[in-house]
Chain A
Amino acid sequence: MPTAHSWTDLVVRPVVDTAHLVRFRGATVRRPRVARIAWGTMLGITAAVVVVPALAPGAGAPTGRAFDALLLLPTFMAGFLVLALVSAVASGGGRELLPHEQAVAHPVSPTTDHLGALLLAPLNIAWLLQAWFLLGSAAWAKGPDGLLALEVVLLVWLALATALAQVVAWSVEAVRRRSHGVAVVRTAGVALALVALWLQLTDRWGPLLDALPTLELVVAGLDGHSPRWWATVAGMLVALVATVALGAWPAHLTARRLPRDEQRVESASHAARPTPCSELGMLLRLDRASVWRAVPMRRGLGVLAVGPGLVALAGGLTWDMVVVLPGLVVSGGVLLFGVNAWSLDGRGGLWRESLPVDPALVFRARSLVMAEWLLSAAAVTVVLASLRAGVPDASEAAALLCALVVVTAQVVAVAMTWSIRRPFSVDLRSARATPAPPVVMVGYSARLATSTTITAMVFSALSWTAPWWVSVAVAAPFLAWSGVRWRRAQRRWVDAPTRALVVTTVAA
């Protein structure tokens, strides 16, 4: 007999279950010492970004760049919200504390799933970088005096913005799972892009950003521990609790509906095509199918390729800035499957491994598919960005092409190495799936972002300081080093015991 939901059902159980799942995930970490170091590093960086800029020369000055940072703080806060929104919406409601395939045997409620997704949201390098940027900007803008009050407001804002993004993400996912929901969501996305374009063309972004409600929060934070500050923080905390609670409703709504995107892909038919003439051709075809028919890859690619491109288009970036974009896109794109590339075969890996084919050829095919996939995403971004950047001169064109090829080679070599060194058994069906556990993904993304950004900055500088051939000359050692790493990874893959370990792990 149905009974009214009690406080225990609605709140206590989901919270207790979330704690159980967090403990379970914590207990299943393969290398606890490394995980503890990673957590310590993240906390250390967070403390550093709050303290160091505040003690830097010029921090808290009433004029100059510190004051500019203070003026831009409300915009940065809004930017953080937009990024959290995009991330949560693209991942279909956020990451899973327990993968669906494992959770299906347990009574995990959608509220627990919602709370888990909220807890995992910060384990994302984009979230972390934006959060550190925001806290660091505030520290520099305010200086040490009264900084604590402002940072508390910002910390609560980070939590509130993440919770708000989660509510929107669940709501969008609930709509997407209705009939014609995918079309509705896509239409809404295009409409939002058109509105942004209209704001840009009519020069309305400035007035709009000046009127953001985040301005009030910053002003309250600058007030110190005044009654206004207490009221603001209390209000934000109440809003945070209410938003977290509100998110459970669309989460339940989503859980009751079938994931149409995934179902469409899983029930799709593909007409037979002639068998390719070569073994490599056949391997490429199957690997391409594994990538392009996966919902998380398609959705992730769309966001990664189009998002930075549109931002560059709206901002009217010059070529020296456009050169940086491929590194951003490529390092993000490889996180969708590349860092655990053999998981594309899923449990079919055992059968594939029983086929008579040179393992080096299989390795080459997987690397090629990864490279072409990353290059296509970066190309879309560059094309969008180039619409307002004008015609590049020879130096700019060479720097851009070299940056594109170099970061792709770097990322493919590293990803193929990691795929062999640390394979994971994951099901990449769901838009919420990631190729490795969340803490591992943070480590991967931090390392990739660092290396590709530094590389891209080198070529960005060359685009306006050196003739075109210098970029080509600088690219050569980068490519050679990536080639060495890639060949080393291939040698490990060709080793039968190593390969067996990878295949049996991803097929487990």
Chain B
Amino acid sequence: MTASVPPAAVLVEDLHVRFGEVEAVAGVSLTAYAGQSTALLGRNGAGKSTTMRVLAGVVPPTTGRVSVAGHDVARDPLAVKRAVGYCPDVGGLVPRATPWEHLQLAARLRRLPSVAEAGHEAGWETRGRDLLERFELGGVAHRVTAGFSHGMGRRLSVVLAAFHQPDVLLLDEPFDGVDPLGVEATFDVVADARSRGASVLLSTHLRELAIQVCSSALVLRGGERVATLDATELLGEVGADAYRALLD
């Protein structure tokens, strides 16, 4: 009897992304499975964020095949965008809109049923409020985000990515500048997503946090994948040494 392999939610084959003369991603291939969380690790400029942007449908691939939740990114980016929740690496917030207005926009464009349509406790408003409270943003739900601290902005970006319970959750540097309570809330979001069968891809510089929340890790260097590791292989001093060796 063989163990069942979960379906691949993200499939990337030989992805290349070029901006003019700069090749930001040079032949990355990866597979991420439903119900699992995968870390993308690497130094600055390794191509992590560009790969995430391609998976979110924000940047089209120059060459290569990218399938997200069964949809080809190049052919059907709109279907990809419906399936993913994306927390970008920088900002991610419209400066003069409030968190609630961000949620309203996402709910409207993703056609999430409201309380009035779905009945009490089942509408997007209830889930939005709950998430804002979990990330301690309930008190600033109607304040414009321009005045937010960096950490508050990161937390709200995670809320917006997870809000509609996507099939593929893409978190790019979600722990950057976030306090321990925000980190715990992000862990909970990742655990929730996995438990309902979503695939999570998490890009970060922070190996210690990545291995706490992810089951496997891909290490990128110079726009290419250099290793695929089980999270346990990155544990402790041995794991740190192995990771350092992959970065050089």
Contact = CB atoms under 8 A, between A and B. Distances in A.
A182 to B, nearest CB: 18
A350 B94 contact: no
B146 A352 contact: no
A102 interface: no
Interface in B99-136: 100-102, 104-110, 114
Contact of A354 (B86, B97, B114): B86
B95 A290 contact: yes
A346 interface: yes
B142 A270 contact: yes
Contacts of A286: 94, 97, 101, 105
Given A347-B90, A351-B88, A356-B82, A289 B101 contact: yes
B98 A348 contact: no
A289 B99 CA distance: 13
A350 B144 CA distance: 18
- Taking residues whose C-beta sits less than 8 angstroms from the other chain, chain B's interface range is 35 or more
Contacts of B114: 275
A351 B163 CA distance: 13
Interface in A323-343: none
B93 A496 contact: no
Nearest to A285: B101
Given A266-B144, A507-B88, A348 B109 contact: no
Contact of A275 (B81, B104, B142, B147): B104
B60 A500 contact: yes
A501 B17 CA distance: 12
B81 A265 contact: no
- Chain A, interface size category, equals 35 or more
A268 interface: yes
A282 B56 CA distance: 22
Contacts of A269: 98, 142-144
A275 B90 contact: no
B94 A266 contact: no
B78 A356 contact: yes
A124 interface: no
B143 A267 contact: yes
B146 A429 contact: yes
Interface in B1-38: 19
A355 B81 contact: yes
Contacts of A285: 101
A324 B226 CA distance: 64
A396 interface: no
Given A352-B105, A356-B79, A357-B81, 16 more contacts: A266-B144, A266-B147, A268-B143, A272-B100, A279-B108, A279-B109, A282-B104, A286-B97, A346-B94, A347-B92, A348-B95, A350-B86, A351-B160, A352-B94, A354-B57, A355-B105
19 contacts: A266-B146, A266-B147, A268-B143, A272-B142, A276-B108, A282-B104, A290-B96, A345-B94, A347-B92, A348-B91, A350-B58, A351-B86, A351-B92, A354-B81, A355-B109, A356-B81, A428-B95, A504-B59, A507-B90
Interface of A: 263, 265-272, 275-276, 279, 282-283, 285-286, 289-290, 293-294, 344-348, 350-358, 427-429, 496-497, 500-501, 503-504, 507-508
